[in-house]
Structures are given as structure tokens and as C-alpha cells.
């Protein structure tokens, strides 16, 4: 390394020049590149964003109270129907096992066991399907109501920018 003033040869770890006493400092490193920072510096602030009282969006009143109530009822009914189907499936399985364990005069217990197991499994699958379908319907109602509410909030925010 050479001194920038007197061109004396210096070790790379020197902080001062031994010949002229010049302080040797490393040039300042440029800050790391950040696309967000460069965008913010390059973008002119023509319209600063409006302040909504501490950066909170405006509040709008909730609409469709009856639809919200119906969505809750459908969700509750989904749990009740699912539970009823599961209990029915267990009862059908137990009845098939119980009827196959009893001896009858004919001695053929296979169809009773098969019918109870297959019927119970079909009822269980049906119960899961009914539960998922009803629960999804209630959540879909909430999604549409939330989309409508978010649209109104966005409209309020954009109308405040004038």
C-alpha cells in the first residue's frame, strides 16, 4: 500500500504514514443495495398517503346480520349432523357385529356382519361428507361477507385521498 500524499511504501495494516504522518483511512463502504430503498428514493412523493388516525383503516358498520346468524346456524348444524352420522355408523357397526355373533337356525352369519360393517362405513363416509359440505357452505358465506366489507373499507380509504 502507498501513502496517497508522499507515495511511501506502507504495510497494509498501517493507519498512519510513517513518512509524512497522514492518517490513512479506508474509503467508506457504500451501503448494501436494497431494491426497496432505491425505489423509495427514486419515486417522487406527489401524493403522500393519507393518515387514518394511527394507520388504522376506517371502520365501517357490519352488514348482513341475518346472514351471519344463518352462517352460524349452518356451522352448528354441521357439527350436530356429523355427530349424528358418526353415532349412527357406530350403532350400525355394533348391530352388525352383534347380529353376526348370535347363532340362528340357518347358521349363516356372514351377511349380517358384512351388511353392518359396510353400512356403518358408508354412513361414516356420508357423515364426514355432510359435515364438510355444511361447514364449507357457512365459511363460504363468511368469505363473501368479508369481501363485501373489505370493498367498502377500500372505498372509504380511497375516497379520503381526494
* Calpha distance 26→9 (Å, rounded): 16
What does the pLDDT look like over 25-77, one tens digit per residue?
765 666 666 665 555 555 555 555 555 555 566 677 778 889 999 999 999 99
User: Cβ atoms within 10 A of the Cβ of 6, count?
Assistant: 13
What does the pLDDT look like over 76-124, one tens digit per residue?
999 999 999 999 998 888 887 777 666 555 555 566 667 778 888 899 9
Lowest mean pLDDT: which of 11-20, 106-115, 117-126, 138-147? Answer: 106-115
Lowest mean pLDDT: which of 8-17, 56-65, 138-147? Answer: 56-65
Position 103 scores a pLDDT of 57
3-state secondary structure of 9: strand
The residue among 96, 94, 93 whose CA lies nearest residue 121 is 93
The rounded mean pLDDT for the chain is 78
Half-sphere exposure of 68 (CA within 13 A, CB side): 8
* Calpha distance 130→81 (Å, rounded): 7
DSSP class per residue in 66-119: HHHHHHHHHHHHHHHHHHHHHHHHHHHHHHHHHHHHS--SS---HHHHHHHHHH
Distances (CA, A) of 118 to 108, 142, 148, 158: 17, 36, 45, 59
* Calpha distance 31→28 (Å, rounded): 9
Amino acid at each position: 500500500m502507498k501513502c496517497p500524499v508522499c507515495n511511501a511504501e506502507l504495510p497494509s495494516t498501517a493507519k498512519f504514514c510513517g513518512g509524512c504522518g497522514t492518517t490513512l483511512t479506508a474509503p467508506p463502504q457504500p451501503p448494501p443495495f436494497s431494491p426497496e430503498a432505491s425505489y423509495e428514493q427514486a419515486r417522487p412523493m406527489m401524493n403522500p398517503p393519507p393518515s387514518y388516525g394511527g394507520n388504522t383503516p376506517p371502520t365501517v358498520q357490519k352488514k348482513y346480520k341475518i346472514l351471519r346468524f344463518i352462517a352460524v346456524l349452518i356451522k352448528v348444524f354441521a357439527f350436530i349432523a356429523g355427530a349424528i352420522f358418526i353415532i349412527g355408523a357406530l350403532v350400525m357397526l355394533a348391530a352388525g357385529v352383534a347380529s353376526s355373533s348370535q347363532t340362528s337356525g340357518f347358521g349363516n352369519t356372514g351377511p349380517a356382519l358384512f351388511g353392518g360393517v359396510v353400512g356403518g362405513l358408508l354412513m361414516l363416509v356420508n357423515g364426514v361428507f355432510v359435515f364438510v359440505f355444511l361447514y364449507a357452505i357457512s365459511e363460504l358465506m363468511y368469505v363473501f361477507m368479508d369481501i363485501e366489507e373489505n370493498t367498502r373499507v377500500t372505498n372509504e380509504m380511497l375516497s379520503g385521498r381526494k
